[in-house]
Amino acid sequence: MGLTDRRRAIVLFGDSLTQRSFEPSGWGAALAHLYGRRCDVYNRGFGGYNTRWCRSMVGELFPADETPLLATVLLGTNDAALFDVEPAAHVPLEEYEDNLTAIVTHLKSRCVHVMVLTPPCMDERQRLAFQKEKYGADAIGVLDRSNANTERYARCAARVAKKLNVPCVDLFEATWKACGVSSHEKKVARQDSVDPWAEPSAAEPNASASETNASKAEDVFVDGVHFSAFGQKLVFQTLTDRIRAYVSSFHETGLTNGSYTLDPECMDSDWPFGPVLRGEPGEWRDKMYAHARSATIAPTLRSGDTKSRSVWRVEASDAADAENRLGRGLAALAVAAGVGLGMGYALGSAARR
């Protein structure tokens, strides 16, 4: 059993909104931190992808010999691209529903739990401003996506989740509410984007640093579509709230289905470090206790100026200590024999000369 086989896995599957979730302050990175003692979080986000392309690769990404604890699916932002502006990414709504149904169905056969995240809304004014800043005079000046169309895909994602009986995280609703109180008039913060072409732009000359930072914190997006630091935190909070509600529903019915490992605060009383590893907690507890019985831990003190600083040294058991002493004795004898042979050879050579 290898390192990656022991730990439960959480797999984040989606487009660039998932790929960029491991940015500094990203929702995926925050999730990995939250589950650091219990699960490994894997980023399987592919920028620019839609459900048509993700459906073709889901079998390879989630093979039969792996069983992740949880998979999240966040797809639809690219599918909802307007056909007359961005035809390569666009997927018709009916096909989107069919593709998403196939993806989630496959994940249900491979994973213990699956959660569908609806595509978020967008900041249309910011998107137009971003387009103009990126392309200048070559900008087409029309939206490649719209909130009205994206909402149709978000509602479709919620229907698929309900039909397949998996939890749904309504990011469209959460981001829509947050955008209602955000500032749409500020300049686009390209310095907050990690796109390769993005170059830091100077802040507005008449705005103080505190005013600029305050306005950035209110924005959900950095380019109208991708999340700002505030937006990343919003997604993380919305997702973890839904996970906690989902786990609570299992506890209320007396069922588990592995849900206890999804609870970030879960601490099994019979397993002091929480249900971290696969297998029965008792099995790993017995191994831990067996290891503890084979060694004693005794305090010792550093010499010199650090005598007051207590450190810990692991002292081997008597049997292991005897074995170590025997090994050191044999090594010393071997060294002495080698030295003797060397000196004898040197003296013999000198006598012959």
- The pLDDT tens digits of the residues spanning 195-238 come to 433 443 433 334 333 333 334 335 999 999 999 999 999 999 99
**What is each CA distance from 236 to 31, 70, 111, 160, in whole angstroms?**
7, 15, 21, 22
- Listed in sequence order, the residues at least 6 apart from 138 whose beta carbon sits closer than 8 Å to its beta carbon are none
CA distance 181 to 220: 10
- Listed in sequence order, the residues at least 6 apart from 307 whose beta carbon sits closer than 8 Å to its beta carbon are 301
Q: 3-class SS at 74?
A: strand
What does the pLDDT read at residue 263? 74
Catalytic residues: 16
What does the pLDDT read at residue 328? 72
- CA quadruple 227, 228, 232, 237: dihedral sign: negative
Run of H or E residues at 101 = helix 93-110
What does the pLDDT read at residue 323? 62
Q: What does the pLDDT look like over 329-340, one tens digit per residue?
A: 777 777 777 767
The phi, psi pair for 169, rounded to 5°, reads -110, 110
Residue 193 scores a pLDDT above 80: no
Residue 212 in contact with residue 1, Cβ under 8 Å? Answer: no
Residue 158 scores a pLDDT above 80: yes
- Listed in sequence order, the residues at least 6 apart from 328 whose beta carbon sits closer than 8 Å to its beta carbon are none
Q: What does the pLDDT look like over 252-272, one tens digit per residue?
A: 665 556 566 687 666 443 333
Residue 216 in contact with residue 254, Cβ under 8 Å? Answer: no
286 pLDDT band, cuts 50/70/90, is low
